[in-house]
């Protein structure tokens, strides 16, 4: 199964930039989207079915034009879970999960800490989400959590770890949380197979950051530990340009 995660920074904007043609060529089984910034009545849903994604699920934020996640699949799931049941998370449309017989896939959009108020909220979300997943894993053993975590885990994951040490997304306690989260029983599928530096998934629109590869790796496909032997490949598609993020891919031999 080929699974892609992609923060599209607005699905309507991405569609205008050729997202649909690109998606058709990828031939992935499942794609998890983040930051869709739209309600599903604001664009044509049939266009996804026309290229093979008959099963598509959208979980928008209550605030229009903000946040939101989606999952598109070529295969019919046996269950769809909108949100976590935790109101403050679900108001912002940050979690969506589909379950197959032998695998569950979640699209996650973890908040950013753009200011003190949002940083406080980010920490609240992180704590409660970690507890939620800890409970969820007692019932779902094969879980892939795809998404924008808004955290660089290690120094290798950011272009300038020294200057960014006090910036949200690379704060010590954010990085510690991600380590603890992974230690619940997950594998960073990209780092499992790729140890080289300068591999990023997000670049600021400022200062020609992408052209100079001054990026951050904040998007992850985290895979349950018991699927380790089934990870066939994991990659970052940094030559795809619909967004300030790029897609990331994991392939599992199921």
Which residue carries 């990209």 as its tokens?
190
The rounded Cα 43 to chain-centroid distance in angstroms is 22
Cα Rg for the chain, rounded, in angstroms?
17
Structure tokens at 194: 């790729």
At a CB cut-off of 8 Å and minimum separation 6, what does 91 contact?
Answer: 61, 62, 63
- Indicate the SS3 state at residue 50: coil
Structure tokens at 87: 């109101």
Of these residues, 46, 131, 135, 148, which one is catalytic?
Answer: 148
The DSSP string of 56-111 is EEEE--SSTTS--EEEEESS--SEEEES-S-HHHHTTT-EEEEE-SS-EEEEEEPP
Number of neighbouring beta carbons within 10 Å of residue 143: 23
Q: Can 148 be counted among the known catalytic residues?
A: yes
Catalytic residue numbers read: 148
């Amino acid at each position: 199964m080929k699974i892609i995660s992609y923060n599209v920074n607005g699905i309507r904007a991405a569609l205008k930039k050729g997202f649909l043609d690109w998606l058709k060529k990828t031939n992935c089984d499942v794609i998890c989207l983040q930051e869709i910034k739209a309600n599903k009545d604001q664009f044509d849903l049939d266009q996804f079915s026309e290229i093979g994604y008959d099963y598509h699920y959208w979980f928008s934020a209550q605030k229009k034009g903000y946040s939101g996640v989606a999952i598109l699949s070529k295969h019919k799931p046996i269950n769809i879970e909108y949100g976590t049941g935790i109101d403050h998370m679900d108001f912002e449309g940050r979690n969506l999960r589909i379950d197959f017989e032998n695998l569950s896939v979640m699209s996650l959009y973890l908040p950013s800490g753009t200011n003190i108020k949002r940083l406080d909220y980010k920490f609240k979300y992180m704590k409660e989400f970690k507890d939620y997943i800890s409970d969820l894993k007692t019932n779902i053993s094969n879980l892939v959590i795809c998404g924008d975590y808004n955290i660089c885990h290690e120094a290798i994951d950011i272009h300038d770890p020294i200057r960014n040490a006090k910036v949200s997304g690379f704060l010590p306690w954010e990085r510690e949380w991600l380590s603890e989260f992974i230690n619940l029983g997950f594998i960073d599928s990209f780092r499992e197979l790729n140890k080289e530096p300068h591999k990023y998934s997000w670049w600021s629109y400022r200062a020609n950051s992408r052209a100079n590869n001054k990026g951050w790796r904040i998007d992850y496909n985290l895979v349950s530990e018991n699927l380790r032997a089934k990870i066939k490949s994991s990659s970052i598609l940094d030559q795809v340009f619909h967004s300030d993020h790029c897609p990331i891919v994991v392939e599992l031999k199921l």
